[in-house]
Amino acid sequence: MPITVGQDSAKTRKTLTVGGQSVSYYSIPAAQAAGLGDFSRLPAALKVVLENMLRFEDGGFTVSVDDIKAFSEWADKGGQNPREIAYRPARVLMQDFTGVPAVVDLAAMRDGIKALGGDAQKINPLNPVDLVIDHSVMIDEFGNPRAFQMNVDREYERNIERYTFLKWGQKAFNNFRVVPPGTGICHQVNLEYLAQTVWTDTDQHGATVAYPDTLVGTDSHTTMVNGLAVLGWGVGGIEAEAAMLGQPVSMLIPEVVGFKITGAMMEGVTATDLVLKVVQMLRAHGVVGKFVEFYGEGLDNMPLADRSTIANMAPEYGATCGFFPIDGETLRYLRQTGRDEDRIALVEAYAKENGFWRGADYAPVYTSTLHLDLGDVVPAISGPKRPQDHVPLTDAAHVFGDYIRGLRKMPAAPKLEKSDMVEEGGKPGPDHVPGNITGFSSAAVAGEDYKLHDGSVVIASITSCTNTSNPYVMIGAGLVARKARALGLTRKPWVKTSLAPGSQVVSEYLEAANLQEDLDAIGFNLVGYGCTTCIGNSGPLQPEISKAINENDLVAVSVLSGNRNFEGRISPDVRANYLASPPLVVAYAIAGDMNIDITKDAIGTSKDGKPVYLKDIWPTSQEIADLVEKTVTREAFLKKYADVFKGDEKWQAVETTDSETYDWPASSTYIQNPPYFRGMGTEAGVIHDIKGARVLALLGDMITTDHISPAGSFKDTTPAGKYLIERQVPVREFNSYGSRRGNHEVMMRGTFANIRIKNEMLDGVEGGYTKGPDGAQTSIFDASMAYQQQGTPLVIFGGIEYGAGSSRDWAAKGTALLGVKAVIAESFERIHRSNLVGMGVIPFEFTGGDTRKSLGLKGDETVSITGLEGDLKPLSEVPCTITYADGTTREIMVKCRIDTAVEKEYVENGGVLHYVLRNLAKSA
């Protein structure tokens, strides 16, 4: 579909001729020459947004000349000018966990617009949408040559209903493509193939227009593509649906934090070590809702793979994006990954002509700055439950010991012999020392007897887009395996090992380097191409290991090359999760124990009986670089992406209907028509005050979207499990919450159901529980249903960084369907706040130093919030009256986090999709 641009933008429209082809573009220097402001000092990341304003400058497109001038004022004011703007990304990226509910919503909107007398064809993506199926493969089989095929077979068995639905969507909707299962992770496919850095399209006059490649994605790690100078970030599926239907993203001109990088990394340090340090620094600095841009001479020697690793973890450091400007390394990567030479020439010419190029004199204005000398980065891991919990590798064993001592509420004690720590029957002895070696339990696998204890590493997984996109750490992992194999080492028998690359290109170069054979020998056989362990699809542990852990209350450990290690995410049997580089994942699989000081202690014994240390199997930087140069080729990328949308025989065999609207199967437990648009009228409503609300949950700091809407497995005793059992679904077919996001009945029951969430209304209870109307403990879902039957509104209280983590729209959808009208917290993470607004749930922030603790909240209060009716201004402070159980009251002021005028309209309509649907129906 041709792009449409504002007619008033003609004064900044210029022509660029590259390689014999002429393209139009919107010139930032021309805007400056026209007197619209001085834009020369803007960071490249912000210039991308400015170009978007120039291209759509026209009152009919919600962009004005004043919006453009505001960017010059931003620089004049030292990097601050929070003006509301309407931003239009070029495209949308989805994965299947978040994409399925988005397509479900689109299908439901087609039903909804017909009910309003409109045309179903109005519900079609106006911008290109790519959905990559990458979240559904689960590691049932591992450690053998059959693992990949067996996991793929089980994936199709579990998910055929979802895949049939997605194939229907591919036929039914325009501008919508599906990348089949087994291809790779969406962010890596985006980085290696979909992204172009400079995008081209035709306008309403048939002319070719060049402009920066931009996108939003329904996964928080969409930011990975910022490493390729493509501005992209994660949004909820709700916001993405609105964007693909032509609704601009309402946002404030962001602050931009400059992160200066100098120097070079020391021998033996990896990109993973670097990004974990960056996460720690930026979390401490505070960058929520801000852009981060990396600059400095240190980038001159930083490969794009390392840049994308840093950009990928922007959600972990809390930023909207982590952007790297275009330079020579950008061009080199585009060429290596098989992009067309004409495109590469256009990227260079456009970047230099329009002020996006990072040259030696690049020195823009930033809101604030940080500095990191790469020589200060040391090998590290992060954990045991937050990505920002950075631990130098030299301190890892000691810090884990402190964690165990705190968990067990035991003081430090002298290290004892193992014989002193175990009572008869394998239980911990009275003098056992947490953090050295603690509780033991006998277990046997494949005829081998061994003992587990606190700190036993039971999962070691090379997984996730963050690191498997980086050939330096992947080749490094292969070389560690090769050296370990040569010495006769292998994984410990209690460690579940897996290799799940982010694209098929990884397998191509591991095979070319003959390293896959070495990884196989250590137990890191290919298990699939997808997110796996990093999103909780680690699959079950062997029964005897799971039993030993749970019967003895052991703190088992996972080590993964991922980006998330939140509580309850990786495996229900694992309580301590550590993020590490792929080479370290291999090393910890061999060591098998987090209590070992892996930098000093032997991690195994060689075949000739000698102790082996980490330094004995660690490759040099030169060894890695030589193999990368030899095996990571342009031809490999061209080969693997030649038929990226075709899929294997299994995908091609999936049959679906050809219809404008979806024929919802009544018996499906995966895909159901959601209730959002039923009975919806043509006119918007008003925002009402909240009166007499009860507290559904009283939650602490950094409640993540994993806490609110878990993605992993669940038991038959949970509300979601009971729902499936009632429909004759056996436990082995439950799959995961993430795979059932197309069924609101399952997801409502899974909201606030994380096994590690703690509701402070209850005393020390973990899991999705609260108090019902009668004051008795019950599940959050059952309490919600009881309150809704009474017509009682509900609120949630939280601490700081509420909603941290992924762009999980179900964290907001589930909250809304449980009858929650408001969430009151000390602060919100960006995406979840936006998602709540998009579902009509109002976020509020405490003011004046108030917190749930300072107010003495216990959860038995009633809450009323006034000042919402009438002329509510964005970011207003409004009165909140808390009535305690003894009848006393207290009035506080809370800030209403409806941030923009457009967001107010969304809430008045009941949500952003209702707003879009009504407007589309009226336009018909």
The CATH number linked to 625 is: 3.30.499.10
- Half-sphere exposure at residue 187, Cβ-oriented, CA atoms within 13 angstroms: 34
Token pair for 356 = 């996006």
Q: Could you tell me if residue 466 is inside a domain?
A: yes
Residue 412: what pLDDT?
A: 61
d(CA 565, CA 578): 7
Residues in the chain, how many? 924
Query: Is 33 a domain residue?
Result: no
Which of 603, 632, 661 is where one domain is finished? 632
Cα separation, 323 vs 311, whole angstroms = 7
Give the pLDDT band (50/70/90) at residue 767. very high
Domain that holds residue 510: 454-632
Task: Please state the φ and ψ torsions of residue 394, each to the nearest 5 degrees.
Answer: -65, -20
Cis amide prior to 43 (ω within 30 degrees)? no
- 208-212 vs 198-202, strand pairing mode: antiparallel
| Cα gap 153→138, rounded to integer Å | 11
- Res. 609: pLDDT tops 60: yes
Alpha helix (H) residue ranges in 27-64: 28-33, 44-55
Is residue 879 in some structural domain? yes
Kindly state the percentage of the chain with pLDDT values over 90.
75
Dihedral sign computed on CA atoms, order 187, 188, 193, 196: positive
pLDDT above 60 for 892: yes
Identify whether 593 is part of a domain: yes
Answer yes or no: do 895 and 793 share one domain: yes
Give the amino acid at 326: I
Which has more pLDDT, 658 or 805? 658
Looking at residue 247, its pLDDT comes to 85
The answer to whether the CB of 39 falls within 8 A of the CB of 46 is no
What would the mean pLDDT of 445-471 be, rounded to a whole number? Answer: 85
Residue type, 251: M
Confidence of residue 204 (pLDDT cuts 50, 70, 90): confident
> Is residue 202 within 8 Å of 209, Cβ to Cβ?
yes
Asked if 490 and 520 count as a contact pair (C-beta separation under 8 A), the reply is no
Q: Say whether both 609 and 731 belong to one domain.
A: no
Q: Say what the pLDDT of residue 448 is.
A: 67
| CB atoms closer than 10 angstroms to residue 621 | 15
The C-alpha atoms of residue 526 and residue 423 are separated, in whole angstroms, by: 40
Q: Are residues 601 and 701 in the same domain?
A: no
694 and 623 in a common domain: no
Residue with tokens 């992992």: 477
Pair (595, 724) in one structural domain? no
Within 10 A of 650 (CB to CB), how many other CB atoms are there? 16
At residue 922, the pLDDT reads: 83
What SS3 class is residue 484?
A: helix
Does one domain contain both 713 and 785? yes
User: Is 393 among the domain residues?
Assistant: no
Kindly report, residue by residue over 313-370, the tens digit of the pLDDT.
Answer: 999 999 999 999 999 999 999 999 999 999 999 999 999 999 999 999 999 999 999 9
Is 697 a member of any domain?
Answer: yes
Task: Give pLDDT, residue 606.
Answer: 96
Residues 688-741 have pLDDT tens digits of 999 999 999 999 999 999 999 998 889 999 999 999 999 999 998 998 898 899
Residue 391 parent element (H or E):
strand 390-392
- Backbone φ and ψ for 527, nearest 5 degrees, come out as -110, -10
What pLDDT, on the 0 to 100 scale, is given for residue 447?
56
Rg of the chain over Cα atoms, rounded to whole angstroms, equals 27
What's phi and psi for 545, nearest 5 deg?
Answer: -75, -45
In sequence order, the β-bridge partners of residue 893 are 879
Domains in the chain, number: 2
Task: Give the residue ranges of DSSP H helices in 180-303.
Answer: 186-189, 237-244, 271-285
Q: Are 147 and 527 in contact (CB under 8 A)?
A: yes
pLDDT band at 830; cut points 50, 70, 90: confident
Q: Helix, strand or coil for residue 59?
A: helix
For residues 498 and 532, the answer to whether their CB atoms sit within 8 Å is yes
Last residue of a domain, one of 601, 632, 663: 632
Domain end residue (candidates: 610, 632, 654): 632
Per residue in 361-415, pLDDT (tens digit) is 999 999 999 999 999 999 999 999 988 899 999 999 999 999 999 888 877 644 4
**What is the structure's pLDDT at 464?**
82
Q: How many CA atoms lie within 13 A of 180 on its CB side?
A: 19
Do 495 and 620 belong to one domain? Answer: yes
Q: 775 and 706: one domain?
A: yes
Return the minimum-mean-pLDDT range out of 506-515, 565-574, 706-715: 565-574
For residues 694 and 618, state if they share a domain. no
Residue pair 778/769 in contact by the 8 Å Cβ criterion? yes
The verdict on 618 and 710 lying in the same domain is: no
Q: Tell me which DSSP letter residue 130 carries.
A: E
Tell me, yes or no, whether 335 lies in a domain: no
For 827-886, list the strands marked E by DSSP. 842-846, 862-865, 877-883
423 Cα distance to chain centroid: 44
For the stretch 615-650, pLDDT in tens is: 999 999 999 999 999 999 999 999 999 999 998 899
pTM for this prediction: 0.84
- Mean pLDDT of the region 153-181: 93
- Under a CB-based contact definition with an 8 Å cutoff, are residues 335 and 344 in contact? yes
Q: Which amino acid is at 669?
A: T
Residues 602, 483 share a domain: yes
Does 669 reside within a domain?
Answer: no
701/622 same-domain check: no
> For 572-610, b where at least 16 C-beta lie within 10 A, e where not — what string?
bbbbbbbbbbbbbbbbbbbbbbbbbebeeeebbeeeeee
At residue 528 the predicted structure's pLDDT band, cuts being 50, 70 and 90, is confident
How many CA atoms within 13 Å lie on the side-chain side of 706? Answer: 23
Residue 467, C-beta contacts closer than 8 angstroms, at least 6 positions apart: 271, 272, 309, 473, 474, 561, 562, 581, 582
**CATH number of the structural domain spanning residue 882:** 3.20.19.10
CA distance 320 to 367: 15
Burial class of 142 by CB neighbour count within 10 A (0 to 12, 13 to 18, 19+): buried
Eight-class DSSP state of 357: B
pLDDT for residue 630: 96
> Position 316: which residue type?
E
| pLDDT at position 442 | 53
Which pLDDT value is given to residue 924? 63
Dihedral, CA of residue 819, residue 822, residue 827 and residue 830, to nearest 10 = 70
CA atoms in the 13 A half-sphere facing the CB of 821: 21
d(CA 382, CA 272): 10
